[in-house]
C-alpha cells in the first residue's frame, strides 16, 4: 500500500490550523464568534488554578485576544449554548453535543456503581434519592448544601461524605447538570431544568455515537492514531476506535498516512482523504502564551513527538525538586514552541519571574520585542496595571 508521508513542518501546520493557532488572534471573542471557537475545538477544559488566568480563559484568550471571561459565562449560563461535563477532565462543551454524552453518562454510572462503593466513604447509593428529592423540591444546590448532618471528613476528593459523592454521581451520570458557578463552585439543578428541550430529548444509539466521536475527533486533530481518537473525548474505548478506523479505512472514508515526527521517525496515523488537498499555510509569527491545558498540548507525548517540546506540570513536585516552577506557561511562536515562562499576578502587577527559551531559540531584538508585547497584552487581560520583571528573569 502506498501511504503518503506528511513531513514534520507540514504536520505541525495542519495540527495548529486545526487547533485555531494559525491565524492572528483577532475576532470579538464574544457570542457567536466565541461559540465558533469552542465548536472548532470540540470542548475547552476547565481548571481552577489561577496564578495568572484560569486555563479555560487562557485557552480562549490565546485565540481571541479581545475575549474576556464573562463572555464564556454568558454562553454557559445565560444563553445555554454550552454545557459543562467531563471529557478527560471537566470541560465546557457545545450544547449540540449533549445527546452524544448519553453514552458517557451510562458508562460513567456503571463505573461509579462498581468502583466507588469500595473506595468512597459510606454508601453513597443510599443517598441518591435523597439528594435528587432535595434538588427537585428546593431547587439548585452546591455540594455544601447536601449531607449537612454527615461527617465532613478531610474535604479531599478521596474522602467525600456520602451525599457529596451521590451529588457527583448524579452529575456524572446526567441526572443533574451544572446550572451556574458560584465563584468556581458548581451549582447543580435537575438536567431537565438546565438543558434546552431540543437537546435534552434527542437520542443517538451507540454505533452513531461511536461514529460521531471518532469522526469528530479526526476533524479536530487533522490526523490521529486510533488511540488518539479514543482519547480525544474519552467516550469510546480503544477497541471501539480501532474497529471504527478499520471499517472506515476499508470503506474508503479515511486513509492511512505516515506522519514525520520531529526526530524523523514516521508514525502511522489516519486522516480524511482530502487532507492533503487543502493548503496548510504557515502560522502567523506572533508569540502566544498558552495554557498548560491547551488542546494542542493536552497530549504531552504527542506534543513532544510533533514539536520536540517536553512539558510537565510541577504543581505537585516539591519546590526544591522543580526544574522550572509551580505553574509555568508554554510559549509558541509560529509553528514552534519557543520556551516556557513563570509569571504570576500579584495584585495589580504581572510579575515575570523567569523565561526559559528552548534549546536553539535565540532571543534577539525582534523576538524580545515580540515577547514583551505579548506580556503587555497578557497583563491587560489579567487586569494588571503594571508589568514587572525579576532581575534574572531571562534564563539563557
Question: What percentage of the chain exceeds 70 in pLDDT?
Answer: 95
Decide: helix, strand or coil at residue 119. Answer: helix
Domain 121-195 bears CATH identifier 1.10.3470: no
Percentages helix, strand, coil for the chain, rounded to the nearest 5? 45, 20, 40
Asked if the model's pLDDT at residue 314 lies above 70, the reply is yes
Confidence at 91, pLDDT banded by 50, 70, 90:
very high
The predicted model scores a pTM of: 0.94
CATH 1.10.10 range(s) for the chain read 121-195
| Residue (of 106, 40, 33, 110) closest to 72 by Cα position | 33
The beta-carbon contacts of 159-164 under 8 Å, at least 24 apart in sequence, are 159/121, 160/120, 160/121, 161/121, 161/122, 162/120, 162/121, 162/122, 162/123, 162/124, 162/126, 162/127, 163/124, 163/127, 163/130, 163/131
Asked if the model's pLDDT at residue 105 lies above 70, the reply is yes
Predicted local distance difference test score (pLDDT) of residue 205: 97
With a CB cutoff of 8 Å and minimum separation 6, the contacts of 394 are 355, 363
Q: Which of 26-35, 150-159, 344-353 has the lowest mean pLDDT?
A: 150-159
User: Per-residue pLDDT tens for 165-186?
Assistant: 889 999 999 999 999 998 889 9
Confidence at 355, pLDDT banded by 50, 70, 90:
very high
DSSP lists the bridge partners of residue 267 as 259
DSSP lists the bridge partners of residue 45 as 91
CATH 3.40.630 range(s) for the chain read 287-389
- Assigned CATH for 287-389: 3.40.630
Amino acid at each position: 500500500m502506498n501511504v503518503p508521508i506528511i513531513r514534520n513542518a507540514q504536520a505541525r501546520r495542519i495540527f495548529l490550523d486545526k487547533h485555531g493557532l494559525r491565524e492572528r488572534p483577532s475576532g470579538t471573542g464574544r457570542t457567536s464568534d466565541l461559540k465558533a471557537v469552542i465548536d472548532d475545538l470540540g470542548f475547552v477544559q476547565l481548571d481552577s488554578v489561577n496564578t495568572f488566568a484560569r486555563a479555560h480563559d487562557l485557552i480562549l484568550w490565546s485565540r481571541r485576544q479581545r475575549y474576556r471571561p464573562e463572555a464564556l459565562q454568558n454562553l454557559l449560563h445565560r444563553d445555554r449554548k454550552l454545557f459543562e461535563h467531563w471529557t478527560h477532565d471537566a470541560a465546557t462543551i457545545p450544547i449540540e453535543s449533549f445527546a452524544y454524552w448519553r453514552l458517557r453518562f451510562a458508562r460513567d454510572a456503571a463505573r461509579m456503581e462498581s468502583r466507588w462503593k469500595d473506595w468512597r466513604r459510606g454508601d453513597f447509593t443510599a443517598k441518591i434519592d435523597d439528594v435528587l428529592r432535595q434538588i427537585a423540591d428546593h431547587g439548585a444546590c452546591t455540594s455544601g448544601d447536601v449531607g449537612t448532618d454527615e461527617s465532613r471528613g478531610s474535604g479531599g476528593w478521596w474522602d467525600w461524605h456520602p451525599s457529596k459523592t451521590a451529588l457527583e454521581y448524579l452529575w456524572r451520570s446526567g441526572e443533574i447538570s451544572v446550572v451556574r458557578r458560584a465563584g468556581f463552585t458548581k451549582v447543580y439543578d435537575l438536567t431537565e431544568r438546565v438543558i434546552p428541550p431540543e437537546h435534552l430529548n434527542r437520542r443517538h444509539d451507540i454505533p452513531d455515537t461511536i461514529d460521531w466521536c471518532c469522526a469528530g475527533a479526526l476533524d479536530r486533530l487533522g490526523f490521529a492514531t486510533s488511540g488518539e481518537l479514543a482519547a480525544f473525548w474519552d467516550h469510546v474505548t480503544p477497541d471501539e476506535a480501532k474497529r471504527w478506523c478499520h471499517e472506515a479505512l476499508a470503506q474508503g472514508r479515511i486513509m492511512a498516512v505516515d506522519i514525520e515526527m520531529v526526530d524523523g521517525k514516521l508514525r502511522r496515523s489516519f486522516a480524511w482523504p482530502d487532507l492533503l488537498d487543502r493548503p496548510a499555510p504557515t502560522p502567523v509569527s506572533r508569540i502566544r502564551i498558552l495554557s498548560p491545558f491547551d488542546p494542542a498540548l493536552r497530549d504531552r507525548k504527542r506534543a513532544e513527538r510533533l514539536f520536540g517540546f517536553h512539558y510537565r506540570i510541577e504543581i505537585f513536585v516539591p519546590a526544591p525538586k522543580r526544574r522550572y516552577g509551580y505553574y509555568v506557561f508554554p510559549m509558541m511562536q509560529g509553528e514552534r514552541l519557543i520556551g516556557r515562562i513563570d509569571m504570576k499576578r500579584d495584585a495589580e502587577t504581572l510579575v515575570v519571574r523567569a523565561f526559559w527559551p528552548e534549546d536553539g531559540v535565540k532571543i534577539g531584538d525582534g523576538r524580545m520585542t515580540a515577547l514583551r508585547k505579548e506580556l503587555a497584552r497578557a497583563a491587560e487581560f489579567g487586569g494588571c496595571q503594571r508589568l514587572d520583571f525579576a532581575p534574572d528573569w531571562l534564563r539563557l
